[in-house]
A and B are shown apart, each in its own frame.
Chain A
Amino acid sequence: MNREEVARQMAVCNACRYCEGLCAVFPAMELRRTFAAGDVDYLSNLCHNCGACYHDCQYAPPHEFAINVPKAMADLREDTYATYAWPAAAQHLFQRNGFVIALSLVLAVAAFIAGFVAVSDPAALFASGTEAGAFYRVMPHNMMVVIFGGAFLFAILSIAIGVTRFWRAAGPMPVTLRSLWRAAKDAGKLRYLDGGGMGCMNENEHPNDKRRLYHHLTFYGFLLCFASTSTGTLFHYVLDWQAPYPWWTPVKIFGVLGGIGLVAGPIGLMIEKRNRLQVLKSEDQGFGAAFLWILLLLGLSGLVLTAFRATPAMGLLLALHLGVVFAFFVTMPYGKFVHGIYRFAALMRHAHEQFAEHGEQVPPPKQPLPRQPAE
């Protein structure tokens, strides 16, 4: 039903085209005359939900054409993650992607780890730890690697299969270095979250750049945390230097900065989500909440662990942080996390399509675009 609604709206938009300059969705739409399932799924993931086209639209409700592209795209976009998810049995997880589930997962895992340690070495749980290897008395490093590496690899596999299905549904298209680089730049800057230059229109028709700022904090905060973990792994295996690390190491600097981003960003995004104009909100208003909460907990638990690692709370805090990390890995393929992957794939397809249509090396189309009369 959401596919039909997007196709209906795109037929109106394609006859209008006033929003052409706002983002990638409309130029992509103009390359099509009909909107099959794969096309609308692709377009919905190209939409960054900036809201500008709703406020700019002469056909927005209460007009009888009832054009509300951001909402139609959001509704469909949330469907697509489930449509292409692997394994198929996990598709229903998207519908029940609530905060409560995620939180219970965190607590369950934390309790499990704490319980595990309590049984094997109760003293380790309440020992403070700043000396090298203190963390691994709570949980041996190899066990950490097996559990978390396993969860991570499964998540990667699952997402890779899903996004491949999504890619193929919109028609065969090669992945080129040029489109990859273009998509990386567009995604890195959130180029299409700015309503064509004015800004994102979230709570009303007054544009601002707050969502972009909060998203950047979240995304780059996440990347810093990832960099922190990666450097930590290098320290561990290459330098044979065991965690915890002093504050001046890249592991800590990346981790603390990233943690701050992962706290500030998701809080900002939650506020923006709450303030969002009601008519722009997707049907499933809870969608994405779990993801934001997990990111926030990821940052928060990491920061708290760093701050209190010298106290007897270290063991429990570590268990909690590991619980969050584990919950994050496990829910990655079945929650809002995949939006980044699908969006990136859509941006890559868009870059390739536009290069093919307007690029320098490619000869111009045989016939110029049909003329649109003067108005």
Chain B
Amino acid sequence: MTYDVLIAGGGNAALCAAISAAKGGASVCIVEAAPKAWRGGNTRHTRNCRLAHDEGNGILTGPYPVEEYMEDLMRVTKGVTDEELAALTLERSKEVWDFLAENGVHFQPSLGGTLSLGRTNAFFMGGGRSMLNALYRTAEDLGVVVYYDAAVTGLEIEDGFFLAADVTHGWDGDSPKADRIEARAFVAAAGGFEANIEWLTEAWGPAAQNFLIRGTPYNTGGLLRLLMDAGVQTTGEPDQCHAVAVDGRAPKFDGGIVTRLDCVPFGVVLNADAKRFYDEGEDFWPKRYAIWGRLVAAQPDQVGHVIIDAKSFDLFMPSVFPPETANTLEELATKIGLDPEQMRQTVDTFNAACVPGAFDHTVHDECHTEGLEPPKSHWARPISEPPFYAYTLRPGITFTYMGVKVNRDARVVMENGTVSPNLFAAGEIMAGNILGQGYLAGIGMTIGSVFGRIAGTEAARHVRN
């Protein structure tokens, strides 16, 4: 089989690349490792992308200039980013709304409870899977050929020049059937390696065994490994990722958004020793959400327990799993496997340190602790009114950042510093170029769309020449 452009992956980046390449006149084939029902990698679990824009448009509530976007990115990454590529991404994010809308994606105002994102982030009507379905429909209408259950198992790359890929597709008796697909350009858009626990263990040590993977189990980094073996330069640290604290009862893979817990600012978080370890009221939860994954990962057994009481129960988004409930702290401690005496002591110490004040969860209120280490800076109220509730937290990995180094054309950079003429990368597999650390809501999809479009356009241009 021969195509102009072969694309590995089936998510946002792959589809943006496929549509752009097909519109550029190329014959395009997508190989998606997942079956159709699971297609789309982590795009299935997304709901918005962060887009720069000079004025609001009725759905986006106001302007979000590139400069402000850049400041936000610099703040979360602490400067660990390729500034040229970051500037390119943010500048071209301005085009993404129109591109997606042209290709069938509908947008809607920010979801109930996400008002803080109404200005900066474009929400997909029906969420990421709806967006994905629209892009697949458009791609199919443009003649893009899509194979599901099709994983790349080998790459033929000579001196940085892509020749062909081995793809398993279907079965030949008991063994997978391998096809050799030749193409004049190749786009790697197959995601990170977050679903590869072994690889995570190399970076994190045994703690990785206790990580929950929030997204697709198909992002095992197979293609990234093949590219590394073929002499592609990598960027980013293997232990950097978008990691949040999620409900410990979430499925090992694919738990997605609903495993999120928003109750941390309203209670105390105890580790396996029934001791506090971080300021739960440092800032609003949306701003601290993405640091708690790493915080919990650093605790014994990679576990945390949020303890709240009756007066806080209705203050946060409903959770998908009901909490453990008890009328005394000791009973609750027993239920969640903590030492009752230690938990009682930790909570009593916390309660005694709470300075009385006016509680208001919508502002940085005056309820804080005094003489307590670590402190709780806001929303600190004694945990005293039964029933008491406990939620278990685990690190939830969204996606990994280490990936292949690319240039402005989304062309892959080789170890010797040369740039491949026909090997491109987009999406999670190269997100580390822009996201060295930290996370900014919706930027993963922005990187995927911007670089997907660039990769597809450049691949088609390469084919034409």
Interface residues of A (CB under 8 A from B): 11-12, 14-22, 27, 30, 33, 52-53, 55-65, 195-198, 205-206, 367-375
Contact = CB atoms under 8 A, between A and B. Distances in A.
B195 to A, nearest CB: 15
Given A18-B47, A20-B108, A369 B319 contact: no
B356 interface: no
Given A21-B108, A195-B126, A370 B317 contact: yes
B317 A374 contact: no
B128 A58 contact: yes
B130 interface: yes
A339 to B, nearest CB: 25
Given A369-B112, A375-B257, A33 B318 contact: yes
A19 B258 CA distance: 13
Contact of B112 (A20, A22, A195, A198): A20
A14 B257 CA distance: 11
Among A53, A371, A375, the one with the most B-chain Cβ atoms within 10 Å of its Cβ is: A375
Interface residues of B, number: 52
Contacts of A373: 244, 260, 262, 285-286, 289
Interface string B295-332: 00000000000000000001111111000000000000
Contacts of B314: 33
B256 A371 contact: no
A59 B259 CA distance: 12
A251 B442 CA distance: 60
Contacts of A206: 137
Nearest to A18: B127
A15 B38 CA distance: 21
A375 B134 CA distance: 21
Contacts of A195: 126
A248 B108 CA distance: 49
A127 B361 CA distance: 82
B48 interface: yes
Interface of B: 37-38, 44-48, 106, 108-109, 111-117, 123, 125-130, 133-134, 137, 244, 251, 254, 256-258, 260, 262, 284-286, 289-290, 314-320, 361-362, 440-442
Nearest to B398: A375
8 contacts: A17-B111, A370-B315, A370-B316, A371-B115, A371-B284, A371-B285, A375-B47, A375-B48
Contacts of A57: 127, 129
B125 A372 contact: no
B256 A58 contact: yes
Contact of A56 (B111, B116, B127): B127
Contacts of B320: 11-12, 15
Nearest to A373: B289
B258 A30 contact: no
Contacts of A197: 106, 125
A63 B44 CA distance: 12
A52 B133 CA distance: 11
Given A368-B362, A370-B262, A375-B48, A19 B116 contact: no
Contact of A370 (B38, B111, B113, B440): B113
Contacts of B128: 18, 58
A121 to B, nearest CB: 63
Among A30, A59, A60, A374, the one with the most B-chain Cβ atoms within 10 Å of its Cβ is: A374
A12 B46 CA distance: 16
A21 B442 contact: no
Contact of B46 (A11, A63, A375): A375
A366 to B, nearest CB: 10
Given A195-B126, A374-B286, A59 B108 contact: no
Nearest to A20: B111
A26 to B, nearest CB: 9
The 3 residue pairs across chains A and B that have the minimum distance between CB atoms? A374-B441, A18-B127, A372-B113
Contacts of A27: 112
Contacts of A16: 127, 256-258
